[in-house]
Amino acid sequence: GAVVSQHPSWVICKSGTSVKIECRSLDFQATTMFWYRQFPKQSLMLMATSNEGSKATYEQGVEKDKFLINHASLTLSTLTVTSAHPEDSSFYICSARDGADTYGYTFGSGTRLTVV
Amino acid sequence: GENVEQHPSTLSVQEGDSAVIKCTYSDSASNYFPWYKQELGKGPQLIIDIRSNVGEKKDQRIAVTLNKTAKHFSLHITETQPEDSAVYFCAASFTGNQFYFGTGTSLTVIP
């Protein structure tokens, strides 16, 4: 089946630094990738949608200058949390949509970000 | 936009019993309804999905039913096992575009 690799699985960073999270589709071309944020015991909240080669579309309330998303190729999207603060600590999950399958939608394994 | 409600938020069943989780959606245009299982510290895993042109789908111990008129769909797990313990999320989507997730159900299967 389709596999999405997300890296790193966890990261601890100091307040004020930036952190980059990678999301790769291993065996399919992902025309669209999605980034979610999940707080403990809560549902997934969509942060942004990115299409290969174009700017990401951010959900209302998500700071585009703080959460930089790049989708430069059909197999890789990155989320950079800039000038991280403790309130940015969360579980970040990507998902990728197979360009050849309207309903082919696979999640990554998530990244636990802790800002200290 | 779409609004998905999910009940119950927590569910405990004895091993071997059945578990049922229900979701309602608001947008009649939604036509794709996946269910995901999420274990602690991991990303969601698709366990079953249903499209609006069918009313029921089954895969071994897991089944999903859809009532388009009432705009609700349900997940049924039979012969539950301890490894079924996890958080389950329903979602609604129009043609695989943006997904709207339910609030999750924490299922505990008691051995």
Which of B49, B51, B101 shows the shortest C-beta gap to A43? Answer: B101
Nearest to B2 by CA among B93, B81, B82, B70: B93
CB A44 within 8 A of CB A94: no
Rounded CA separation B103/A75 (Å): 30
* Identity at B76, one-letter amino acid code: H
Please provide the average confidence, as pLDDT, over all residues in chain A.
93
What confidence tens digit (pLDDT) does each residue in B56-99 have? 999 999 999 999 999 999 999 999 999 999 999 999 998 777 88
What pLDDT does residue A35 have? 96
Q: Mean pLDDT across the stretch B7-19?
A: 98
- Which B residues in the span 8-67 are in contact with A, Cβ-Cβ below 8 Å? 32, 34, 36, 41-46, 49, 51
List the structure tokens of A99.
């360009």
Asked if B89 is an interface residue toward chain A (Cβ–Cβ < 8 A), one would say: yes
Inter-chain touch A103–B49, beta carbons under 8 Å? yes
Rounded CA separation A3/A71 (Å): 17
What pLDDT does residue B95 have? 75
Tell me whether residue A37 is exposed, middle or buried, using C-beta atoms within 10 angstroms of its C-beta: 0 to 12, 13 to 18, 19 or more: buried
Rounded CA separation B11/A39 (Å): 20
Q: Which residues of A touch B34 (CB under 8 A)?
A: 105
List the structure tokens of B97.
């575009």
Predicted confidence band at A98 (pLDDT cuts at 50, 70, 90)?
Answer: confident
Query: What's the length of chain A?
Result: 116
What pLDDT does residue B7 have? 97
A43, A91, A106: best to mutate for the B interface, most B CBs within 10 A: A43
DSSP A53: T
Residue B111 has pLDDT above 80, yes or no: yes
Inter-chain touch A104–B96, beta carbons under 8 Å? yes
Predicted confidence band at B15 (pLDDT cuts at 50, 70, 90)?
Answer: very high
- Per-residue DSSP letters for chain B? ---EEEE-SEEEEETTS-EEEEEEES-TT--EEEEEEE-TTS--EEEEEEETT-SEEEETTEEEEEETTTTEEEEEE-S--GGG-EEEEEEEESTTSSEEE---EEEEEE-
Rounded CA separation B111/B80 (Å): 10
Alpha helices in chain A (DSSP H): none
Nearest to A28 by CA among A92, A93, A105: A105
Which of A41, A105, A108 shows the shortest C-beta gap to B96? Answer: A105
Inter-chain touch B43–A97, beta carbons under 8 Å? no
- Min mean pLDDT across A9-23, B12-26, B43-57 is at B43-57
What confidence tens digit (pLDDT) does each residue in A13-66 have? 999 999 999 999 998 999 899 999 999 889 999 999 998 888 899 999 999 999
Inter-chain touch B46–A6, beta carbons under 8 Å? no
Rounded CA separation A50/B38 (Å): 23
What confidence tens digit (pLDDT) does each residue in A59-85 have? 999 999 999 999 989 999 999 999 999
Pairing mode, if any, of strands A111-115 and A90-98?
A: antiparallel
What pLDDT does residue B2 have? 86
